[in-house]
Structure 1
Amino acid sequence: MFRKLRNKFLLLNMVTISVMMLLAFACIYFIMYQNVSRDIDMELHREADIGRKSGNMGGPPKSGNPIAEPGKGDRQPMARSISFMLITDSQGTIKSTRSSFALAEDNYQEAAKAALSGNDQQGKFKLEDTSWAYQVQKLPDGFAISFLDVTAQQAFLTNLIYAFLLVAFVMLFIIFFTSRYFANRSIEPVQEAFDKQKQFIADASHELKTPLAVINTNVDVLLAHSDDTIQNQSKWLTFIKSESERMAKLTNDLLYLAQIDQANTGVMMAPFDASDAVEQVVLTMEAVIFERDLHLSYEIEPGLKIRGSLEQFKQVVMILLDNAMKYTSPNGSVEIEMRKRHQHMELSVTNSGEAISEEHLARIFDRFYRTDPSRTRSQGGYGLGLAIAKAIVDQHKGRIYAKNKKDHKVAFVVELPLHS
């Protein structure tokens, strides 16, 4: 599916760029063609004006202008960027020639015939590998035809087309691989999000399957003893209630994650004292920590303010403390440290216990991810707490990560920008 999507994106990109290049090259060629045609017309008019001024229209040319009468000049190769004029009668017979070079009589005859063969006053033809442009002027007793060698101009336009084709081929070759690279880069986040969504649905279904199976089994037991009293069947009812509460918590967490994913929907951002918020959460959890025979130490720098949701920030602190308590070794310690670091507030929650391997550190904030699935299930977790914490921190333009420290300690660090 993603390969087809990439190919469609690549094809669309190539077609779009090809059309744009074609239009650009066509516009450039059209402008150059118009400029060349205008220059040719100006040169032909100039040649005709020179002919008129030299008195060559129907009479002998003025002195200083070499003349080549038909049949009297030796045959010479046609030079580039040259011009000449022919005076003919109404039947097309050459009466006189004005030229700065000598051509064979048959060349003049072919040129006159080509110019007068149509009804156009100007045009182009090819004679002995040389391209000529001409302009015909009507005289009382014949025609005055100006000729201009445009081989160089025609070669320029032809070479321009070849240059465009070469540039287009090279550019399309480069653009193809560049577009393919960026198409792959563009598809990667979509594919990753799709894979995560599939995994998320599979994990959610798996997590819901267990409590549903427990509930269904206990209901079957109750139905099998329908004549018994509720008091005697209270154990099965307790199991059903417990699993129902677990399902309700899972459902609420999933809905909460979905709400967070909807780009700050319903979140009120306001400045608040993060130091006071952390201290409130610590005081709330202090009794629970001591009941579990854990040592708690904290150092909170006062007056650190951030902008965001106070309740969501407290929820992040609560998640990190709860996670630390779950994974702290017996008679271990939980350390909380909060301080200013440059333009950020840094909150660190450290617990003693087993270190987290590097492969787990990169994925520990993924939804439903557990480093020890069996242990986490026994403690009632679904692997969503750290995912919720990361979603909240990301929403606040912050950063959260885990790292191993010395003496078998694991630290979870939250960095959030301070409110100026």
Structure 2
Amino acid sequence: MIRRLRFRLTALLMGTCTLLLLILFSLIFGLTRQRLMQEDREILERAAELPLRGPEEKGDPSRLPAVRVLVDEDGTILKRSGADYYYVSEEDLSRLIRLALSKKESFGSLEKGKIHYLRRAAGEDARSGREGHEEEDAGEERKEEEENEEEEERLIVFSDFSASLRSLNALLRNCILIGLFALLFFFLLSFSFVQRAVRPVETAFESQRRFVSAASHELKTPLSVILSNAELLQRRIEEYSPSGEDSGKRKELRRFSENILSTSRQMRALTENLLELARMDGEDARLSGFETLDFSMLASEEALRFEVLFFESGRTLCSEIREGIFVLGAPVRLRQVLDILLDNAKKYGSPGGEVRLRLGAEGKKLLLCVDSPGKELSPKDCEKIFRRFYRVDESRGSGGGYGLGLPIAEKIIEFHRGRIWAESGNGRNRFFVELPRIER
């Protein structure tokens, strides 16, 4: 229990720290990427506003890190600028132009994000250089064709985003490394904090366990004396003759002695259960007495033993047990689980009902089910019924139980790395046990 509490607190703290680091580094990375994208777009937009020079004009006054091209509707390059900043071959430039023209968005990325482009209709500034060199040789008919052609001209601006991508990748690697070191630091800090925080709980729990164990031990001796004397008294009562007044006194004394015996046996069962739980809460009871055993045979033996008890209580027990199911476990403990589940079905099941015991295999697990008719358990009861001293008032109040059998069964199943749960519906209550099985 304390170990589980430590694990849950550490997991909670580490989960919170991990979430905060993820949010922080995601914000840093996202904002940095957005800023770089915005800066690159601003460069593209500024470059798109500048006029393109003619082929015979030298130099590029913009000196912006961008390549600008003026193309027609077929993607043919009419004019370009930016060769002074980037060297781009005609073949690569033509391929980038085709990709940019095939995109629906006016701004986007190419080559897995390494190249950004901005596409827009060619303005007067972009066309001015081209028009100045063609006006001298063109006639009136040529001008009309050019006007129609210019409507399809596009200005495309390219920029290299690969350096920014490398910076982003370096930032991502740094965030991951810093995050790992931070998580290691937070783990050590959380572990130390949890150890200190759980120490008072561990002390209180250990004191409670010792008190329960000591009190149960102290109660066993007087209970044994009471039981012995009550049994002796009952035997002496049987020695009285059944005649006259003595017969009435004998019946009265017998009733008193039976009440003493019944109550003492209940108290002995309670103290034994408390001792059992106290031993299970100890760390030394976790993995003792395990062996390979035939669980099918174990379930068949318990079913055969309980058939008589069910018959005497006016109920029937039907078993469907698959043969050849083996587990690694403690035979005494697993038999105790079967006893608890079948005894509960006998105590709290509807009179005259049919109780079903089923054992099967699902993959690498065995599945045991004890299905009994009775008043349905609510979802809340199904969840809490394995808590210590928890009892469903209406259906379990008269059964004489103390709410310790199912918690003991749950502890045993946990030691065997399995799970136990309850379901209810259609007037029946079902208890399931799932355990890892082994092949033989």
TM-score by length of 2: 0.45
